[in-house]
Every structure is written in structure tokens, then in C-alpha cells.
Amino acid sequence: MSSSDPKAPSRRSLRNLPLRVMRISWWDLAQTLGPILILGTLGVWLALHFGGPAPPHSITLAGGMKGSNFATVAGRYQRFLKRNGVELKILETEGSLDNLNRLTTPHMRVDIALVQAGLTERNDTSDIESLGSMFFQPLLIFYRSAKSIVRLSELEGGRIAIGPEGSGTRALALALLKANEIEPGGRTQLTSDEGEAARKALLNRQVEAIFLTGDSASGTTIREMLHAEGVRLFDFRQADAYVRRFPYLNRLTVPAGAFDLGEDLPPTDLSLLAPTVELLAHADLHPALVDLLVEAAQETHGRASILQAAGQFPTPATHDYPINTEAARYYKSGDRSFAYRYLPFWLASLFNRVVVVLVPIVVLVIPGLRFLPQLYRWRISSRVHRRYGELMAVEREALGPLTPERRAALGERLDDIERSVISRRMPGSHAEQVYVLREHIRFVRENLARRVE
């Protein structure tokens, strides 16, 4: 290769090669690698942010009165969650309406609540979702009368115990009595007795009828009322009409002898009305806890009973609140996610979070690192190519009229281009491009010097 070849760098040029040209351009490497690392870090942050934090170690449930069916159900949930490393704190409440109020009141800090279907709340419920319907909540009306009554309107003028403020029993009783034109303030006296107090009031003839449901009465109280002498259980012969008017109610048929075969209670088939009870939660409840709670509900409510078939509950059917998306997925798939199916709860949570972090790394960082050498070479080469663009611009301007001042200005621009090439750190692998460019700068400078005006 001759020294006149513009593509061959001269020996003198090679001797003048700065030592820093032979090293890696760490600045260019950092500028090339930086965006990849930033994108990867951003991906990890977004994954952690939208993937949510680790599940909390404890949550709070608004249950019901001490000894009520609600309290019993809450206790079963508590034991199931404890086996999986989660503490369930249970608040004693007045019942369904109180539960809903606590759930929708920010400072109460309640995470989940058992709430009877059909109840409404004045507070904002936009972030409330349902984890499904858990079980039937039959309304049992016991009354003392010489003969059976067939309509609730026949209770008008008497004294009726409908439960305390905040209970689902009271809310449902008021709705049904109003449909029969019986309202507070009229001839009928409505008391707040509930559970055991209501039972005693009826047995002591202090009231003529009592309304009982699972959120305000224990199973023992209900069983004792079924066997109480002179006390009858109301048969909703108009059950279909009630269901049409109140869509959140269900008609339940209790066969003769279902409560007590020995004493044949009830003596004939009996129609009851029952809303379902939903497990409500805030929309931001951790997905892992949603799965755990639905599984707890399946263990608690999945068996057959007098009022339901095996596997009938829990169900994604809801009334006033949308079904939680994670709960809907669980009902559809019938199982927890892979990690929670085979690992302990907290280990599964850690595994899922690690996976969430690794996904953006695998998707963004690893492919980026794979193409890093190409990106680095492209960046170095693009710097040389930009100088060629500047050199070509000088050469085009040199084709026009040249005054001494114009010639000096173009020469100064050529010097600037050459200085910028020499002063910038350039890896040894690109030294040939650098010296080829300098040969071309010299070529343009010589042409400029030969131009005569």
C-alpha cells in the first residue's frame, strides 16, 4: 500500500496516534449502555409499582355480633388464613349495615366485610368490589298466635322486634313491612331487640313477633325458637311475589322435617326468603389475598346443608357491587395461581414479585446487552460520519468564489474538524477510520490551497 493512497494512514500519523485513541471510549460506552439500563430500571419500577407490594401480614374484617352466624363464619375465615400465615382481625359489629358503613368510611380501616345483599350506603362505594356471594341468609319470622298467619300485614298493630340499628335484619324487616304498609310511627310498635333478647321477649309475651337472621342471632337461638311451645315460624306463601319485588331475595323451600326429623319440624314444606351474603372488599385488596379469601370461602361454605346444595357457594353472582377481577379469574379457573398452588403463601408472594422484576430485565435489558457491541460501533462510526458531512460541506463551499478571507475561514473550519477528531477519545478498533478521515481532510485542505482566484 503506497503512502499516496488516501486510505492508507502515514507512519508519521500512526506515531502521533494519542494513547487515549487506543483505549475504549468509556463515555460512548456509557451513553450507549445508559439508555438500556434506564429502560430496564424503568421496567422494573413499573412492574413493582403496578404489580403491587407484597401482601400485608394482617387484614381486618367487619364481622357481626358476638355469637351470631356472621361471627362464626368470620372465625372460620380467621383459622384458614392463620394456616396460611395471614392474621385476620375481626371487628364485632351490629351487623350487615354497620359492616358496610365501616367498610366505606376511610378512617375505619376495614379491609373486608360480610354484607347482606340489597343494602345501600350513603358513603362513596366506588372502590368497593365483591368477592362473590358466600351463603344464603334466611329471614326467620317467629310469632305467637292461636292460628297461622299468611300475610305480614296481619302483624299490624302489634309489637315486633326487628333488630338494632346497623343490622341487616332491621333493614330487611323495614323493607318487607313497608311493602305491607307497616311503617315506624304507626300503630305497630317496632323494637330493637335482637337475638337472645328477642327470643326472651317473644317467650315472655313482650312482643308478638320477632325477625331473626344470621347477622343478629346465633344458631342456638334459632333452634330454641323452632322448639318453643306456642311459637310459629312464618311461611312466606307469597314468596314468589316478594322475589319479583325485591330482586336480591331468593325463595328457599324447606322440606317437612328438615329442622328436626324426630319432632317433624316443620310439619309441612315451608317457604322462606333469603338474601345472599357477599364478601365485600376495597378494589385495591392484594390479589393474593383475594385468592386466599375465596379459597377460605370454598372450604367454609362449599358443603351441602339444609338450605343449599354442595358446591353452590361461594359463587361469583353479585347484586349491587361489581365482582373483583381476581376473584372472577379464580372462580373461572377454579384454583389459585401456580406459585400459590405449590408454595407456602409468603414464599409464593416472594416468587411472584421476583418474577415480576425479572420479566422487564429479560425483555429489555438482556436483548439490549446482546446488541450493545453493534450499538457501540454504530455510535463511534456515526461520529466519524458526522465529520464527513462537515467536510463535504466545506468542499462544496470551496467551489464558489474565494476571497482571501473566505479561504482563511474555510481553512479554519477544516482545522476545527481535524481538532474535533483528534481531541475526542476514540477506541483503537476505529483508528483506521480516524486516519482515513484525516487523510481526506488533508486532501480537501490541499485542494483549497491550490484554488486560485
Please state whether beta strands 112-116 and 270-282 pair in parallel, antiparallel, or not at all (unpaired): antiparallel
Where are the extended beta strands (E) located within 97-163?
112-116, 128-136, 140-144, 159-161
Is 328 domain-assigned? no
Model pLDDT, residue 271: 95
Tell me which H or E stretch contains 88.
strand 87-91
Tell me which H or E stretch contains 188.
none
Model pLDDT, residue 281: 97
Structural contact between residues 58 and 84, judged by C-beta atoms closer than 8 angstroms: no
What's the farthest any 2 CA atoms get from each other in the chain? 133
Q: Which residues contact 10 (CB under 8 A, 6 or more apart)?
A: 3, 439
Structural contact between residues 185 and 211, judged by C-beta atoms closer than 8 angstroms: no
- Start-to-end CA distance of the chain, whole Å, equals 35
Is 438 domain-assigned? yes
Is 120 domain-assigned? no
Is 81 domain-assigned? no
Is 108 domain-assigned? no
Could you give the 3-state DSSP secondary structure of residue 41? Answer: helix
**Domain carrying residue 22:** 11-41+370-450
Is 207 domain-assigned? no
Q: Among residues 316, 282, 311, which one has the least CA distance to residue 298? A: 311
Model pLDDT, residue 218: 76
Is 389 domain-assigned? yes
Q: In what order do the strands lie in the sheet with 159-161?
A: 189-191, 159-161, 209-212, 140-144, 231-233
Q: Which residues contact 116 (CB under 8 A, 6 or more apart)?
A: 95, 96, 137, 168, 171, 172, 213, 215, 275, 276, 277, 278
Is 442 domain-assigned? yes
pLDDT in tens, the chain (453 residues): 344 444 444 444 444 444 444 444 555 555 555 665 665 566 555 555 555 566 788 999 999 888 888 999 999 999 999 988 899 999 999 899 999 999 999 888 899 999 999 988 778 889 999 999 999 999 999 999 989 999 999 999 999 999 998 899 999 999 999 999 998 888 899 999 988 899 999 999 999 999 998 777 777 788 888 888 889 999 999 999 999 999 999 999 999 988 888 888 888 999 999 999 999 999 999 888 998 899 999 999 999 888 888 999 999 998 889 999 989 988 887 766 666 666 666 666 656 556 655 666 666 666 666 666 666 666 777 777 787 888 888 888 888 777 788 888 888 888 888 887 777 666 666 677 778 888 888 888 888 877 655
For 117, other C-beta atoms within 10 Å of its C-beta total 25
Q: What is the domain count for the chain?
A: 1
Q: Which residues contact 175 (CB under 8 A, 6 or more apart)?
A: 118, 246
